[in-house]
Amino acid sequence: MRIHVINPNSTVSMTDRIGRTARRAVSAGIQIDLVTAHATPASIEGYADEALAVPAMLAAIRAAEARGAAAHVIACFDDPGLDAAREVAAGPVLGICQAALQVAMTLSVRFTVITTLPRSVPIIEDLADAYGVGRRCRRVRAIDLPVLALEDDPICAERLIAAEIRAAQAQDGAEAVVLGCAGMAELCERLSQETGILVIDGVTAAVRQAEALIGMGYRTSKLGGYAWPRLKAGGFAPEAA
C-alpha cells in the first residue's frame, strides 16, 4: 500500500524531515510516496501562501493517484486546500491539523497547540472551531519564529517550543500539546520526554490514520460535497469512482 505525503511548500529539506517522520510511523509494507510541491512558496505562513500552494498540491495529488497512491497526507498544519483535495482524490485525504486535533481530543480533555508565528494563531483557531474542538483546545500559542527558522536554528526553536509547553501546562491547564507545524515533527518524542507531557505530532497522526482508513477499505464519498469536480474548461477532469 502506498500513502502519498505532500509538503505543499517548496523547501525540499523540510520535505525530507517530514518523510523521515512519516516512514518511522507507518507499518512494515507501507510505502511513503513523498513529494515536494513545485513553484509554491518556500514556507506557508498565512492565507496568501496557502492559496498559492493549492493548485500545485491538487495536481500532485492527482498524479500520485495515477501512480497508485491509496491515501494522501497534506503535511502543512494550516490544512491548505483540504476540502478541494478531497474533491479531486478517490482515496482518503488527511490534513495534519485535523488528524492531530482528533488524536488530542481522544487522549486528553484539555490541550494547547504550539505553532510558529503569531499570524498563524487565528488560522489554527478557526480550524479548531471548524473541526468541532470547542473549549477542549485551551489556547494556540506561537514561538514567534518563521517556519524555516526551525531548520536554520533548531536549538533555539526547540528551546522556545519547550518553554511554551511548560507555559501551556502551568497557565492553560493543558494535558497534552499539539505541535502546530510539520517542521516540528522530529522534535515530538524528545520534547515529550523533556517536558513530561504528551506531545502530539500531526504528521505521525495523519499517516497512521491514513493507514487505518486504507486497511478498512474506505474511500472518499463522492455523493455530495466531495463529488468529483464538474468537467469544464480550465478545471479538473472528473475521474471514475
Query: Domain containing 102 — which CATH number?
Result: 3.40.50.12500
Domain that holds residue 196: 97-202
Q: Are residues 69 and 152 in the same domain?
A: no
Domains identified in the chain, total number: 2
Asked whether residue 57 is domain-assigned, the answer is: yes
Asked whether residue 222 is domain-assigned, the answer is: no
Q: Are residues 107 and 185 in the same domain?
A: yes
Q: What is the mean pLDDT of residues 40-62?
A: 97
Q: Are residues 171 and 188 in the same domain?
A: yes
Residue 238 pLDDT grade (very low, low, confident, very high; cuts 50, 70, 90): low
Kindly report the backbone phi and psi dihedral angles of residue 3, in degrees, each rounded to the nearest multiple of 5, phi listed first: -110, 125
**Stronger pLDDT, 106 or 234, i.e. the higher one:** 106
Q: Are residues 81 and 103 in the same domain?
A: no
Query: What is the pTM for the complete model shown?
Result: 0.95
Kindly report the backbone phi and psi dihedral angles of residue 182, in degrees, each rounded to the nearest multiple of 5, phi listed first: -60, -30
Task: Give which of 22, 29, 35, 26 is closest to 1, Cα–Cα.
Answer: 29
pLDDT tens digit string along 101-112?
999 999 999 999
pLDDT tens digit string along 149-164?
999 999 999 999 999 9
Residue 225 pLDDT grade (very low, low, confident, very high; cuts 50, 70, 90): very high
Q: Are residues 111 and 197 in the same domain?
A: yes
- CB 87, CB 134: distance < 8 Å: no
Pairwise CA distance, residues 97 & 181, whole Å: 9
Asked whether residue 102 is domain-assigned, the answer is: yes
